[in-house]
A and B are shown apart, each in its own frame.
Chain A
Amino acid sequence: MERRSVLGYGAAALGALGLALFVGWWQVDGPGGPEPDGRRPLPLTAMEFDLTDHQGRPVGPDTLVGSPTLIFFGFTYCPDVCPTTLADISGWLDALGEDAEQLNVVFITVDPERDNVEAMAEYIGYFHPAIRGWTGTEQQIALAVEGFRATYEKVQTDGGDYTMNHTASVFLFDAEGRFVTTIDYHEPRDFAVPKIRRAMNEEKTEGAT
């Protein structure tokens, strides 16, 4: 009798522990986690891709480590979202004044078919001078997009042309290359500059300690 009840308690305790572990996993890493799709961008140090900047120089995630980074995807044949994002970012950089010089600001095209180095150079020339434009092969662009857990898709339009659906969020990384946060497309502009400052300050506190 006593043995059986001890076993019973033991089994119940194990069951409770198992349940607690399961609930913990569910809430932290599992489907109940704070980011339901678990699609948090990798640290820049864990990404691997080789692209070319608008001045023809080879670049990759390593190029960005050492300074806080603001990075986003788009394409130069985009009439609405991309020029708006680039104009918004130009405004944020103006608001940061001289501090903007500490930032890497990169626009990666998701349309390498049309956006070659020359096209990127011409296009970004109309925006804040800190903004750099990166392009490359379709394969390397796909690798980069995957590292950021972003998405893009080519969509045919009725004029026989095509457009690109793509993640329009701006990604922020600290100087160590760790993902900090995103600035979403419809977020009020007032939130953007403090977020950028946060990514920059994480670098400073790291440096101070």
Chain B
Amino acid sequence: MNERTVYLDHSATTPVDQRVVDAMLPYFTEAFGNASSLHRFGQAALAGLDTSRRTVAEILHAQPNEIVFTGCGSESDNLALRGVAFALRDRGNHIITTPIEHHAILNTVAQLESKFGFAVTRVPVDRHGVVNPDEIARAITPQTILISVMYANNEVGTIEPLAEIAQIANKRGILFHTDAVQAGGYLDLDVNRLGVDLMSLGAHKFHGPKGIGALYVRSGVPLVPMLTGGGQEKGRRAGTENVPYIVGFAAALKIAQENRDETNTRLSALRDKLVEGLLERIVGAELTGAPKERLPGHASFVIPGVIGDEMVLGLDIAGVAASTGSACTAGSVEPSHVLAAMGYAPDQARGALRLTLGRENTVEDVDYSLGVVADVVNKLRRTS
């Protein structure tokens, strides 16, 4: 098995940058102290923690104490939604979100709805997966305490009009959260320009390690902690700080954001080649998500006459790692909730394919993958 392998699933996760690994390593064995300890070991760890928090804060144009490190992007989403909902339950019980959010959002608001008496409005999206800010405005009631709209969609790459939504939310005095997990490595994270009050990030989407996330919480935003215990993270997230991973988070975010323009220019060009080449080679294939306002490395399609899982499996056997775009359980044929919300019929949605490029991909990778995708689709089409 010495054929070429190409990783085209960067929306699922990315390889950790070697520079990030190098930055993390001393904090496992040398500066291993507990950041809360008074002695020099603790201080060395605390130095890594403080520096990392400052680095992240600078990139977000935020204050260091507005950054809460968490265990992952999902935890950040959970803390934002539940934390705000519980803190403001005396003021109102209404939350606005969209049907195309990650399950970390969808399942959390569903639980707030079913177990804790909150009301949730899921504002529909258009065929490209774009939320209409006017519809958000119309959904607001006197009870509305929180609006949560993702920055960029994981399945179809569409970038949402955050600033416009933020304007609406700010004007009405409603808190605005965004799940920026997919956007973290590629888009502007200036919380003031975006106008967000809370923003979730996860390191492994931008060449950092898994198991570390962050939540930006604007000063003054009330938040009931989910993990209670010691006073870490200013009481917003108890538990001994995971210093090596926090250092890795900051290092990875810094590298990604410093080289953002260059990376995005290159990835967008590769993606356009991938999209054009695939639409040319595969009869009936359709690009899903917004054609222009989408993540730079993100290409997603529906391909008639094939089943997404089977395509992914055939591609894997031929050395190309891809995904259907939905986090469905293996072997089940539940169509994607995102494509359903965008108006795709279950039969169309079953042919979903997501190819997401990352910074180590080359033009040769794209050429090779196009040939493999065409071959796999043609063979599978003959069997159905």
Do A and B assemble together? no
